[in-house]
Amino acid sequence: MTQIKSDKNFPTIQNLPKHLGIIMDGNGRWAKLRGKRRIFGHEAGVLKARELVETCVRLRIEALTLYAFSAENWSRPAKEVSGLMKLFEKTIEKYTGLLIDNQVRFKQVGKRTLLPKILQRKLEQMEAITSQNEGLKLTLAIGYGAQQDIIGAVKNIIDDSNQGKIENDAIDESLFSNYLSFNHLPNLDLIIRTSGETRLSNFMLWEAAYSEIHFTETLWPNFEEQEFIEILENFSKSERRYGSIKKEVELKKA
């Protein structure tokens, strides 16, 4: 039994994000600073991801999406890509029990057919095993790209329109969102990107329309719980206007 226990000293934070997205960047640089191969950094990144999942469970955050492997990452050296695919397989095997015991519901987004067959099967099994869980919704983006996702949605909407399944006048932001990979999750509230890079790198571009975005210089394997908590506390104090002015937001809340 690997149930995550609550900590009496764990801070209480009001207005937590319902959906948190993490661009886990800096594994390679972290390994290079230690004179190690890049895969060593990715292995350290997996351990850090586990820590973050545990913290999100303790905080009762509704949804967490981890950007693990982008559509563009296929252009990396074949040896690194192969090592990452094997690491994904091992990670799923190792942490299935943790997700089950803590009611975590798992889903993978991205072009699954490009992944190794054995990894495809393991992802399908993990999704099936955790499909009835009612805790944290953990989504792993592997082989995912927001631009590709949007293009796929457009094509499917055109097909459904041509078949008379939807009326053109019915196409709006809400309907379009239903054709995207993240239609099973609440709106994306906060994105954190580690390693000092200040771009989204094709991550959830549609869903990020009104997201708060935090960039940190910290390399992903060095990202500690204390920094995470501080980011969440700052988020809880932010005033999210969604294009309105303060008075309009207050009226909508009233």
Distances (CA, A) of 199 to 22, 35, 193, 194, 195: 12, 27, 8, 10, 11
Distances (CA, A) of 118 to 26, 65, 93, 122, 124: 27, 23, 12, 6, 10
Q: 183 an active-site residue?
A: no
Angle between helices 78-101 and 117-130 (to 10 degrees): 20
pLDDT reported for residue 1: 45
**Once rounded to an integer, what is the mean pLDDT over residues 17-44?**
98
Short-list 1, 4, 25, 3, CA closest to 220: 25
Sheet strands side by side (includes 190-193): 105-109, 137-144, 63-70, 19-23, 190-193, 212-215
pLDDT reported for residue 6: 60
For the record, the structure tokens of 229 come out as 């908590």
Least reliable range by pLDDT among 39-43, 101-105, 221-225, 243-247: 243-247
Q: Examine the pLDDT at 251 and tell me if it is beyond 80.
A: no
> For 19-253, CATH number?
3.40.1180.10
Q: Examine the pLDDT at 245 and tell me if it is beyond 70.
A: no
Residue tagged active-site, from 73, 133, 156, 187: 73
Q: Examine the pLDDT at 45 and tell me if it is beyond 80.
A: yes
Angle between helices 38-59 and 225-237 (to 10 degrees): 50
Residue tagged active-site, from 9, 25, 202, 234: 25
Q: Where does the pLDDT of residue 246 fall: very low under 50, low under 70, confident under 90, or very high at 90 and above?
A: low
Residue pair 183/176 in contact by the 8 Å Cβ criterion: no
Those residues whose C-beta lies under 8 Å from the C-beta of residue 54, and which sit 6 or more positions away, are: 4
Q: Examine the pLDDT at 44 and tell me if it is beyond 70.
A: yes
**Once rounded to an integer, what is the mean pLDDT over residues 188-202?**
98
pTM of the model: 0.91
Per-residue pLDDT reduced to its tens digit, 124-161: 999 999 999 999 999 999 999 999 999 999 999 999 99
Positive or negative, the CA dihedral 3, 229, 244, 181 is negative
Per-residue pLDDT reduced to its tens digit, 95-132: 999 999 999 999 999 999 999 999 999 999 999 999 99
Q: 25 an active-site residue?
A: yes
Q: Examine the pLDDT at 3 and tell me if it is beyond 90.
A: no
Higher pLDDT, 246 or 134: 134
